[in-house]
């Protein structure tokens, strides 16, 4: 049974992590969760991102936004780096989400084949 008291422990654990990182997280991972995103399957993607980030302690914060304006490419996941970089991944599913975390957040390598540019090029 969960109680509000749990939060005290979680707070301390979170603070420890923040100290280790010295000032904020390196990446912000944003999922499009408007009607179009949800309809295309953004929900399992967002869940996977939150769960994996909690479990593997990736250096990112997972948030969500409304319609990104490319509904046909949903589910869309955008990755913003602390250095100002911005990558847009499209047609993401739970497996692709796992790989994006592993490669991009974990190792700093963009998963080129899932990016909007690669998918657009492929579709001609």
Partner 1 sequence: MMEDLAMHILEILMNSIGAKAGRILLKIRESVKDNIIEITVTDNGSGMSEEMVKTVADPFTTTRKTRKIGMGVAFMKGLTEQCGGTFGITSRPGEGTEVKASIVRDHIDAPPTGDLGQMMMYAIQADETIDFEMIYETDTDQFVFKSSEIREMLEGVSLLEPEILLWIKEYINEGIMRAKEGMR
Contact residues: partner 1, CB under 8 A: 1-2, 4, 6-8, 10-11, 13-15, 18, 33-35, 38-39, 43, 46-47, 50-51, 53-54, 61-67
CA distances from 91 to 14, 23, 25, 40, 94 (A): 32, 32, 25, 8, 10
Closest CB to partner 1 among residues 28, 91: 28
Distance of closest approach, residue 120 Cβ to partner 1, in angstroms: 25
CB of 18 to partner 1, least distance (A): 8
Q: Which residues pair with 60 in a beta bridge?
A: 27
Strands 60-65 vs 27-32: parallel, antiparallel or unpaired = parallel
Q: Which is closer to partner 1, CB of 28 or CB of 115?
A: 28
- Cβ at position 45, least distance to partner 1 in Å: 12
CB of 69 to partner 1, least distance (A): 12
**CB within 8 Å of 65: residues ≥ 6 apart:** 30, 31, 32, 33, 78
Distance in angstroms (rounded) separating the CA atoms of residues 44 and 92: 10
């Amino acid at each position: 049974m969960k109680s509000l008291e749990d939060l005290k422990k979680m707070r301390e654990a979170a603070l420890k992590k923040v100290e280790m990182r010295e000032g904020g997280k390196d990446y912000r991972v944003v999922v499009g969760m408007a009607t179009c995103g949800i309809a295309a399957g953004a929900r399992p993607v967002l869940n996977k991102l939150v769960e994996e980030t909690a479990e593997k302690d990736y250096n990112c914060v997972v948030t969500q936004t409304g319609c990104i304006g490319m509904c046909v490419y949903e589910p869309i996941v955008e990755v913003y780096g602390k250095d100002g970089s911005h990558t847009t991944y499209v047609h993401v599913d739970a497996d692709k989400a796992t790989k994006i975390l592993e490669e991009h957040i974990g190792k700093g390598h963009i998963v080129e084949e899932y990016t909007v540019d690669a998918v657009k090029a492929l579709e001609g």
